[in-house]
Amino acid sequence: MNPGDLSWEPMKELGHLRVYPRTNTDEVVARSADADVLVINKIKITENLLDSLPRLKFICVSATGYNVVDMQAACKHGVIVSNVPSYSTASVAQSVFAHLLNVTNRVDAYATQNRQGMWSESPDFTYLNLPCTELSGKVIGIVGLGHIGRAVSSIAISLGMKVWAYTSKRKEDLPDGVEKKSLDELFAGADVVSLHCPQTQETFGMVNRKRLAQMKPTSILINTARGGLIDESAVAEALKYGTISAFCADVLYEEPPKSDNPLLNLENAYITPHIAWATREARERLMAVCVKNVDAFIKGKPINVVS
């Protein structure tokens, strides 16, 4: 949330604040023993940990997902848990199209060639050695139509794309221009598939060899949701053998990934290091809501409660 470019002052005004940029598992109890409130991100709060923190009353997860907290144990110990919903919707939706436009317009590839002097050596005013694709009229299939999925659908419609969605929402409740499809229909017919669903037991590894085999060889797969939705070896194989044309992702199953992850060195895999959420504007919103969550708890009227 704050690698050093934001201020902790608003949080300091609420009480005695200690900030630890990184905390190992074996350091949590010592660092939290006298805390009434914890603001956390990736630290796992287990029942054993809560047993060791009898003073703790409130946990603010500085993220939308709160699966790092054992919610049953938190309730048992009377610890209230809040999260920060929807702070990065615009930033993640923007990242989806940064990836997509990079692939369809070959932005990075052409910029790299220009640095190598290719355009300067061209006999024509246009140096065109890589095909570019127009998105207008193409079909984007969105898996999960929550806040981010809806934002992606809105941008896609403004670009002239047809939008299909796999969602639990009723057809009558979908935004204008969004057509409800089954998962099989979506993967088989879409030119672009963008994942925006939570990672659950049902969705873990949902994009596997069988699902990839349904897709068009010209299709683009985008994942800015959770790394576990993807069978990475199956996607690497699909890219290698032309089952799909490109894979764009801001998340991987293991983060940071091992250097031998097969997706990292494929020319048609475009991987960013989990930065879609991390624009300064999104982090400022995240910080502001964390402060509001803690302030509301102190005042006895907690908000954004998920416990």
Using an 8 Å Cβ cutoff, are 151 and 91 in contact?
no
Residue 196: active-site member: no
- Print the SS3 string covering 81-114: EECCCCCCHHHHHHHHHHHHHHHHHCHHHHHHHH
Number of H helices and number of E strands within the chain? 11, 10
Which residue of the set 47, 255, 280, 281 is catalytic?
255
Identity of the residue numbered 56: L
Using an 8 Å Cβ cutoff, are 189 and 141 in contact?
yes
Residue 226: active-site member: yes
Tokens 């990836």 correspond to 99
Total count of residues recorded for the chain: 307
Q: What is the CA radius of gyration of the chain?
A: 22
Residue 274: active-site member: yes
Which residue of the set 226, 232, 283, 285 is catalytic?
226
The set of residues, in sequence order, having a beta carbon less than 8 Å from that of 175 and lying 6+ positions away, is 150, 153, 154
Nearest to 275 by CA among 243, 303, 248: 248
The tokens for 221 are 């797969």
Which residue of the set 31, 147, 274, 284 is catalytic?
274
- DSSP lists the bridge partners of residue 37 as 58
* Catalytic residue list: 226, 255, 274
